[in-house]
């Protein structure tokens, strides 16, 4: 978990989202719809984005998990996507922001940030009730440029 080992005993029905929030106090990952439809709970498992509300904690035993809390460097330096979200004002209420950022990191890493259309398509699973989508796309575009250079 974010570069550190953790040992948890959980019932087979406990989701990764609930284990993160309730057992490890990693509350950056948000509980939105709890049905895999909003993207607020997006985390990375072995570098792939997953919806923590649809993933059982037992399924990720022994795997590498990165949450929003583990994205910045140890010294506090923000990831390029986090910095771009701040610079582009890509959030309003901020509730969806952790999931948006985690999806954006995967979007760029997987090569889906070639155009605004491609970014919008890849990020479509992450909903923003405030409608900050133009700023989110701008932030992903900016971070993709920075990470390529």
- Encode burial over 55-81: b for 16+ CB neighbours within 10 A, e otherwise: bbbeebeeeebbbbbbbeeeeeeebbb
Q: Is the pLDDT of residue 82 over 90?
A: yes
Domain range annotation of the chain? 16-70, 80-147
Alpha helices in 12-74 (DSSP H): 16-18
Strands ordered across the beta sheet of 65-66: 48-51, 42-45, 65-66
pLDDT > 70: what percent of the chain? 100
Fold of the 16-70 domain:
Ubiquitin-like (UB roll) (3.10.20)
Contacts for 110 with CB less than 8 Å, ≥ 6 apart: 122
pTM above 0.85? yes
88-131 tens-digit pLDDT: 999 999 999 999 999 999 999 999 999 999 999 999 999 999 99
* Residue 36 CB neighbours (<10 A): 15
Q: Is the pLDDT of residue 51 over 90?
A: yes
Q: Is the pLDDT of residue 149 over 90?
A: no
Report whether CATH 1.10.150.120 matches the domain 80-147.
Answer: yes
pLDDT > 90: what percent of the chain? 97
């Amino acid at each position: 978990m974010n570069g550190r080992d953790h040992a948890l005993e959980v019932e087979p029905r406990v989701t990764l989202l609930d284990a993160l929030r309730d057992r490890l106090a990693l509350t950056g990952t948000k509980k939105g719809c709890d049905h895999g439809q909003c993207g607020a709970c997006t985390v990375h498992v072995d570098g792939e984005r997953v919806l923590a509300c649809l993933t059982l904690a037992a399924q990720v035993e022994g795997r590498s998990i990165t949450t929003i809390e583990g994205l910045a460097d140890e010294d506090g330096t923000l990831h390029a996507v986090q910095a771009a979200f701040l610079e582009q004002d890509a959030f309003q209420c901020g509730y969806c922001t952790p999931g948006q950022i985690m999806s954006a990191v995967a979007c760029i890493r997987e090569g889906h940030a070639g155009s605004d259309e491609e970014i919008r398509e890849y990020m479509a699973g992450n909903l923003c009730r405030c409608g900050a989508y133009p700023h989110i796309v701008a932030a992903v575009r900016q971070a993709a440029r920075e990470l390529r250079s």
